Structure 1
Amino acid sequence: MSTQIILPRVMQVGEGASQEIPAILTSLGCSRPLIITDKMMVQLGYADSIQTRLAAQSITAEVFDDTVPEPTVSSIQAGVDTVRHGNYDSIIALGGGSPIDSAKAISILGKFGGTMRDYKFPRIVNEEGLPIIAVPTTAGTGSEVTRFTIITDETTDEKMLCVGIGFMPVAALVDFSLTLSLPARITADTGIDALTHAMEAYVSKKASPYSDSQALSAMRLIGPNLRRVFHDGTDKAAREAMMLGSTLAGIAFSNASVALVHGMSRPIGAAFHVPHGLSNAMLLPAVTEFSIPEAAERYADCARAMGVATEQDSTDVANSKLMDELRALNDELQVPTPEQFGIARQQFFDLMPTMAEQALASGSPNNNPRVPSAEQIVEIYKQLW
């Protein structure tokens, strides 16, 4: 059976990659970009740096900085209006997963109109919106190399998964130097998000030899370096490894899909506004323990790739070490439980059946090596508390 691989047309990887934006725009025949970002990227001077570099090439770029964490239908509307009323031929998506996800949605809606729900999975979006040059500033979501975007419908608290080539950036400029200013909390949350992407891609029922190679490489980079960047954000070698690992994990899950962790994570984020990487981190140990019986060899491979088990360790020993590592990682990276995050117990428990149905409806749990029932998902949610 063959596997279709979808990637950005151009990838520039390494320190200083983001400085290649003018040349990339020229190669795409574009000259009127809109920078879509958030206010932090403006405060840090990243947006201004891009504008200055473009101005030196006689290219004017305006900035839309009203994206928000965990983008919603209403939060992207101003960006859609900006595109529809402006004369732009391209988008520079600058920031973490939220600005890049927002830019993907704005690219399609700005060109073709309609509402975000019109583009929700199971529809496959192959229309080409405005070309996107993605410049990630976190080592986490891998959104710069995926054909997905997730937008929350705030009227129903549903995180809508939107899928298709139309959401794949045309270019990804992966520059780890842009992550050096990340605070420890965001470093941890996005780092565990990337680790989850790699692990889920590797154990996914849609995995292929190609996605396996990317996922294993990602785990080899992330496993030894996640703690290092959490404790010392100026560690360039660790930042570089995390950034490349995040991108490879993004390529892996874009082509193999995510599984149960992500399926269960989205409803927590939508209902309780838990950052995506953090809700993944809350879930990863419990979901891994639930899933190991149906993919013991694969999870053992994950442990070995992450460097917590050796080739000489048996499958059972490797998986025992993997579970110890995931729990220890959450402790060291100070990942809170839902209770510690401040979620009301009654509300969390009352919503569990609804969240379980939403998780199953997303389709991601069907890719899991062990496919759960709604009742089993509720039991896992209870374990998190």
Structure 2
Amino acid sequence: MTNPLSHTMQPFDITGRMRVVFGEGSIRRVGELAAELGARSVMIVSDPGLIEAGHFDVAKESLQQQGIRVESFHDFSDNPTSDMVDAGVRRAAEVKPDLLVGLGGGSSMDCCKGINFVYCCGGTIHDYRGVGKATTELLPMIAIPTTSGTGSEAQSFALISDAKTHEKMPCGDPRAACKIAILDPNLTLTQPTGVTSLTGIDAISHAIETYVTRRRNPMSVTYSKRAFELLSSGFSKVLLEPQNLAARTQMQLGAHFAGMAIERSMLGAAHAVANPLTARFNIIHGQAVGMMLPAVIRMNAPVVGSLYAELLQASGITASPENAADRLACRVTDWLIEAGMATKLSDLSIPTETFDRLTGDALTQWTGTFNPVPLRHDNVLGLYQSSL
């Protein structure tokens, strides 16, 4: 089994842009940290569920105690769209904030970044699809994740769906990186079971995909491996014991480290083939990517089998380069079953006659260009067929 990537890593040139504040109860420091950034007017972008959970009020009170004016925007959903970003920009025009706070899951943080792009630079979010499209400095942003999944707080990208086509648009720029990320594991205790499952599988997929991309480098693989170690240890525990704070902490830090790895090495084919399932059939992202990941792992095996063996070793499982991919793929499937999630496309009634169209969509996805095995029509179609 050949493995040309196992001893070859890409050069890197990375500038640290973000302060990370971790610890139980650290959300109560948001006012202090905002004041250090000179904030006088803040707009919090958070989904309505965070109000019910009480997290929004805690953040608001902390900010107000520093004499900071606080307004908010809540009108967006799990997959923020270009229309929702536009609504947020209109709200920002009323508030005139000098700092943004993204509080919630990946949707809150991505929507906050999308608003930041358009509010500061004008146009629509479509103008910032790709990398480096910002035309001026953006507002400073503090990210406070309440789920353990996307790692968006660690990334300079926003993932926004086109309101009409539902296509996911990655919009990235170094100036969109958060100034501060607050990681408070207490916030993740309020996640519903379904959210814990979906975000956890998403984080696991990030750790696995970033470890084998064409852009892997000494820094990214350090984050990927540590992320996988933490996530593989914590995932089953949080499913069985939702109030286990130690396991929640493992998941939160694992998701964050996986986000750091994405920022430095990007993703791969599992995300490329999952995104069209979300766009065309409204399959939740964590479900889509988790379901497609085993097939991608097996496809990549001839090239990166020894790298998968390294990942398994980090979680205490010994495997050879020849059987590591199958063992890892089976482990992912086991996690899906534990979480009560679908393991096959047929479980979700995805018609086989759509596979050609899904394949065409997948081949346009930017993440696929970083996969260790180049994507073609035949092998992408094969991924959908083998996941049936």
TM-score (norm 2): 0.93
* Alpha-carbon separation, structure 1, partners of 2:355 and 2:327: 30
Task: Tell me the secondary structure at the aligned position of residue 69 of structure 2.
Answer: coil
What secondary structure is seen at the aligned counterpart in 1 of 2:100?
strand
Which of 270, 278, 301 is 1:269 aligned to?
278
TM-superposed CA distance for 1:24, in Å, is: 1.1
Equivalent residues in 2 for 1:277-356, closer than 5 Å: 277-307=286-316, 309-310=317-318, 313-336=319-342, 337-341=344-348, 343-345=349-351, 349-356=352-359
Residue 108 (str. 1) matches residue 144 (str. 2): no
Q: CA deviation at 1:354?
A: 2.9
Alignment equivalent of 2:268, drawn from 259, 269, 275: 259
Q: Distance in 1 between the 2:207 and 2:134 partners? A: 24
Structure 1 residue 350, shift from structure 2 partner: 3.6
Going from structure 1 to structure 2, the CA distance change for 1:133 and 1:123 (only over 3 Å counts) comes to closer
Contact 2:31 / 2:64 at 8 angstroms: preserved in 1? Answer: no
Equivalent residue number for residue 216 of structure 1: 225
Question: Which position in structure 2 is the counterpart of 1:376?
Answer: 379
Residues 159-193 of structure 1 show CA distances to partners (whole Å, capped at 9, x for unaligned) of 11112113211110011110001112111111111
Match of 1:364 in 2: 367
Residue type of the alignment partner of 1:63: S
Aligned counterpart, 1:133: 142
Q: Give the letter aligned to residue 243 of structure 2.
A: T
SS in 2 for 1:371: coil
1:122 deviates by: 5.3
2:18 is equivalent to residue 9 of structure 1? yes
**Contact 1:204–1:368 at 8 Å: present in 2 too?**
yes
1:256 deviates by 0.4
Cross-structure match for 2:153: 144
Give % identity. Answer: 30
Distance across 1 between alignment mates of 2:14 and 2:335: 32
Residue identity in the other structure for 1:291: N
Q: 1:49 to 1:128 in 2, by over 3 A?
A: same
Q: Judge which range, 18-27 or 98-107, deviates more.
A: 18-27
Change (3 A) 1:267 1:125: farther
The 2-side partners of 1:123 and 1:155 are apart by 24
Q: Which moved more, 1:91-100 or 1:64-73?
A: 64-73
Q: CA deviation at 1:370?
A: 1.0
Give per-residue Cα distances to partners, 1:249-279, cap 9 Å, x unaligned.
Answer: 0001111000111111111111111221111
Equivalenced residue count is: 378
Tell me how far 1:363 sits from its aligned partner. 2.3
Aligned residues: CA RMSD: 1.6
Q: Give the secondary structure class of the aligned counterpart of 1:149.
A: strand
Q: Give 1:322's aligned amino acid.
A: L
Deviates more, 1:151-160 or 1:314-323: 314-323
CA distance in 2, matches of 1:262, 1:48: 35
Q: Tell me by how many angstroms 1:314 deviates.
A: 2.5
Once residues 204 and 302 of structure 2 are traced to their aligned partners in structure 1, the CA distance between those partners, rounded to angstroms, is 20
Give 1:320 shift.
3.5
Q: Following TM superposition, by how much is the alpha carbon of 1:326 offset from its aligned partner in structure 2, in angstroms?
A: 1.6
1:369 partner amino acid: P
Q: Structure 2 counterpart of 1:331, which letter?
A: I
TM-superposed deviation, 1:214: 0.6
SS of the aligned residue for 2:233 comes to: coil
Residue 184 (structure 2) aligns with: 175
SS at 1:130 equivalent: coil
**2:190 match: secondary structure:** coil
Q: 1:124: Cα distance to partner?
A: 4.2
Report 1:147-166 matches (<5 A): 147-166=156-175
Match among 25, 28, 40 for residue 37 of structure 2:
28
CA distance in 1, matches of 2:268, 2:304: 13
Task: State how far apart, in whole Å, the 2-side matches of 1:244 and 1:283 are.
Answer: 24
Contact 1:184 1:231 (8 Å CA) reproduced: no
Q: Runs of 5+ in structure 2 lacking a partner?
A: 1-9
Q: Tell me which residue corresponds to 2:6.
A: none
Aligned position for 1:238: 247
Question: In structure 1, what is the Cα distance between the partners aligned to 2:67 and 2:345?
Answer: 50
Paired with 1:381 and 1:125, the residues of 2 have a C-alpha distance of: 36
Gaps of 5+ in 1: none
Q: Distance in 2 between matches of 1:8 and 1:18?
A: 20
Larger mean Cα displacement after TM superposition, 316-325 or 250-259 = 316-325
Q: Which residue of 2 aligns with 1:49?
A: 58
* Superposition TM-score, scaled by structure 1 size: 0.94
Hey, what's the Cα distance between the residues in 1 that align with 2:249 and 2:303? 34
The separation in 1 between residues aligned to 2:36 and 2:298, in whole angstroms, is: 48
